Structure 1
Amino acid sequence: MTVALMWEARAVAGRGDELLAWVREQRLPAEPLRREVLRAPQDRVLVLTWWDAEYDAELPELPEPDGELVMRAVHRWRFESVAAD
Protein backbone atom coordinates (compact mmCIF):
# COMPACT_ATOMS: atom_id res chain seq x y z
CA MET A 1 0.00 0.00 0.00
CA THR A 2 1.14 3.55 -0.64
CA VAL A 3 0.59 6.20 2.01
CA ALA A 4 1.03 9.92 1.34
CA LEU A 5 1.81 12.36 4.12
CA MET A 6 1.06 16.05 3.64
CA TRP A 7 2.77 18.74 5.72
CA GLU A 8 1.68 22.35 5.21
CA ALA A 9 2.89 25.51 6.93
CA ARG A 10 2.29 29.22 6.48
CA ALA A 11 5.24 31.48 7.10
CA VAL A 12 5.05 34.83 8.79
CA ALA A 13 4.40 37.43 6.07
CA GLY A 14 7.47 37.96 3.90
CA ARG A 15 9.34 34.91 5.25
CA GLY A 16 8.14 32.33 2.71
CA ASP A 17 11.59 31.96 1.14
CA GLU A 18 13.07 31.33 4.59
CA LEU A 19 10.48 28.66 5.33
CA LEU A 20 11.10 27.05 1.93
CA ALA A 21 14.86 26.97 2.63
CA TRP A 22 14.23 25.51 6.10
CA VAL A 23 12.06 22.72 4.61
CA ARG A 24 14.69 21.86 2.01
CA GLU A 25 17.32 21.46 4.75
CA GLN A 26 15.24 18.98 6.75
CA ARG A 27 16.25 15.33 6.53
CA LEU A 28 14.09 12.41 7.54
CA PRO A 29 15.59 9.35 9.28
CA ALA A 30 14.26 7.18 6.42
CA GLU A 31 13.85 7.90 2.72
CA PRO A 32 10.33 8.05 1.28
CA LEU A 33 9.51 6.65 -2.15
CA ARG A 34 9.07 10.26 -3.28
CA ARG A 35 9.23 13.72 -1.72
CA GLU A 36 7.86 16.86 -3.33
CA VAL A 37 8.01 20.46 -2.07
CA LEU A 38 5.51 23.06 -3.32
CA ARG A 39 4.82 26.71 -2.60
CA ALA A 40 1.71 28.86 -2.84
CA PRO A 41 0.66 32.47 -2.29
CA GLN A 42 0.54 33.83 1.25
CA ASP A 43 3.97 32.31 2.02
CA ARG A 44 2.65 28.73 2.20
CA VAL A 45 4.88 25.66 1.81
CA LEU A 46 3.58 22.13 1.24
CA VAL A 47 5.60 18.91 1.48
CA LEU A 48 4.25 15.62 0.17
CA THR A 49 5.98 12.33 0.93
CA TRP A 50 4.97 8.90 -0.37
CA TRP A 51 5.72 5.72 1.58
CA ASP A 52 5.37 2.00 0.95
CA ALA A 53 3.62 1.28 4.26
CA GLU A 54 0.35 0.43 5.93
CA TYR A 55 -1.98 3.38 6.57
CA ASP A 56 -1.38 3.41 10.31
CA ALA A 57 2.38 2.73 10.14
CA GLU A 58 4.75 4.82 12.22
CA LEU A 59 6.36 7.13 9.62
CA PRO A 60 8.87 9.96 10.01
CA GLU A 61 7.46 13.45 9.54
CA LEU A 62 8.97 16.89 9.29
CA PRO A 63 9.11 18.75 12.60
CA GLU A 64 7.45 22.04 13.49
CA PRO A 65 9.53 25.03 12.37
CA ASP A 66 10.58 27.67 14.88
CA GLY A 67 7.51 29.54 16.12
CA GLU A 68 8.91 32.86 14.90
CA LEU A 69 9.01 31.56 11.32
CA VAL A 70 5.39 30.39 11.02
CA MET A 71 2.01 32.03 11.65
CA ARG A 72 0.34 28.91 13.07
CA ALA A 73 0.92 25.26 13.84
CA VAL A 74 1.74 22.99 10.91
CA HIS A 75 -1.21 21.18 9.31
CA ARG A 76 -0.69 17.46 8.68
CA TRP A 77 -2.78 14.93 6.78
CA ARG A 78 -2.37 11.26 5.86
CA PHE A 79 -3.88 9.67 2.76
CA GLU A 80 -4.02 6.19 1.27
CA SER A 81 -3.43 5.95 -2.47
CA VAL A 82 -6.36 4.38 -4.33
CA ALA A 83 -5.37 5.10 -7.95
CA ALA A 84 -2.57 6.61 -10.01
CA ASP A 85 -2.54 7.58 -13.69
Structure 2
Amino acid sequence: MSLLAWIVLGLVAGFIGSKVVNNTGQGLLVDILLGVVGAVVGGFLFKQFGEPGVSGLNLYSLVVAVIGAVNLLWLYHALICRRWVL
Protein backbone atom coordinates (compact mmCIF):
# COMPACT_ATOMS: atom_id res chain seq x y z
CA MET A 1 0.00 0.00 0.00
CA SER A 2 1.15 3.51 -0.70
CA LEU A 3 1.81 6.07 2.01
CA LEU A 4 -1.27 8.05 0.98
CA ALA A 5 -3.46 4.93 1.31
CA TRP A 6 -2.05 4.27 4.82
CA ILE A 7 -2.80 7.88 5.81
CA VAL A 8 -6.36 7.69 4.47
CA LEU A 9 -6.96 4.31 6.12
CA GLY A 10 -5.39 5.59 9.35
CA LEU A 11 -7.50 8.75 9.34
CA VAL A 12 -10.74 6.85 8.89
CA ALA A 13 -9.78 4.11 11.37
CA GLY A 14 -8.56 6.63 13.95
CA PHE A 15 -11.73 8.70 13.60
CA ILE A 16 -14.01 5.68 13.95
CA GLY A 17 -11.91 4.28 16.79
CA SER A 18 -12.04 7.60 18.67
CA LYS A 19 -15.81 7.71 18.32
CA VAL A 20 -16.14 4.13 19.55
CA VAL A 21 -13.82 4.55 22.54
CA ASN A 22 -14.77 7.95 23.95
CA ASN A 23 -17.23 9.60 21.52
CA THR A 24 -14.83 12.47 20.76
CA GLY A 25 -11.81 12.69 18.53
CA GLN A 26 -8.29 13.22 19.82
CA GLY A 27 -7.46 15.75 17.09
CA LEU A 28 -6.61 15.21 13.44
CA LEU A 29 -2.91 14.44 13.90
CA VAL A 30 -3.40 12.10 16.86
CA ASP A 31 -6.32 10.36 15.09
CA ILE A 32 -4.18 9.72 12.01
CA LEU A 33 -1.19 8.56 14.04
CA LEU A 34 -3.21 6.24 16.28
CA GLY A 35 -5.18 5.01 13.26
CA VAL A 36 -2.06 4.09 11.27
CA VAL A 37 -0.43 2.46 14.29
CA GLY A 38 -3.78 0.82 15.05
CA ALA A 39 -3.85 -0.62 11.54
CA VAL A 40 -0.43 -2.15 12.13
CA VAL A 41 -1.51 -3.45 15.55
CA GLY A 42 -4.76 -4.82 14.10
CA GLY A 43 -2.89 -6.52 11.27
CA PHE A 44 -0.47 -8.07 13.77
CA LEU A 45 -3.31 -9.27 16.02
CA PHE A 46 -5.24 -10.76 13.12
CA LYS A 47 -2.14 -12.56 11.82
CA GLN A 48 -1.54 -14.02 15.29
CA PHE A 49 -5.00 -15.58 15.11
CA GLY A 50 -4.44 -16.95 11.60
CA GLU A 51 -6.40 -14.34 9.65
CA PRO A 52 -5.06 -12.02 6.94
CA GLY A 53 -4.11 -8.55 8.13
CA VAL A 54 -4.37 -5.26 6.27
CA SER A 55 -4.32 -6.12 2.58
CA GLY A 56 -5.13 -2.84 0.87
CA LEU A 57 -7.64 -0.03 0.85
CA ASN A 58 -10.81 -2.08 1.25
CA LEU A 59 -13.58 -2.73 3.79
CA TYR A 60 -11.85 -5.72 5.41
CA SER A 61 -8.67 -3.72 5.97
CA LEU A 62 -10.73 -0.89 7.43
CA VAL A 63 -12.36 -3.28 9.92
CA VAL A 64 -8.94 -4.67 10.89
CA ALA A 65 -7.55 -1.14 11.29
CA VAL A 66 -10.53 0.01 13.37
CA ILE A 67 -10.20 -3.00 15.69
CA GLY A 68 -6.51 -2.23 16.13
CA ALA A 69 -7.21 1.49 16.64
CA VAL A 70 -9.87 0.75 19.27
CA ASN A 71 -7.44 -1.49 21.15
CA LEU A 72 -4.68 1.09 20.90
CA LEU A 73 -6.96 3.96 21.96
CA TRP A 74 -8.27 1.97 24.91
CA LEU A 75 -4.69 1.33 26.00
CA TYR A 76 -3.78 4.99 25.38
CA HIS A 77 -6.63 6.18 27.60
CA ALA A 78 -5.89 3.61 30.27
CA LEU A 79 -2.18 4.40 30.52
CA ILE A 80 -1.68 7.98 29.33
CA CYS A 81 -4.96 9.69 30.23
CA ARG A 82 -5.40 7.59 33.38
CA ARG A 83 -9.06 6.99 32.50
CA TRP A 84 -10.57 3.55 32.03
CA VAL A 85 -12.89 3.54 29.08
CA LEU A 86 -15.11 0.54 28.46
| TM-score > 0.5, shorter chain as reference | no
- The structure that is strand-richer by fraction is 1
TM-score, with length taken from structure 1: 0.32
Higher helix share: 2
The structure with the largest alpha-carbon Rg is: 1
TM, length-normalised to structure 2: 0.32
Higher relative contact order (CA 8 A, sep 6+): 1
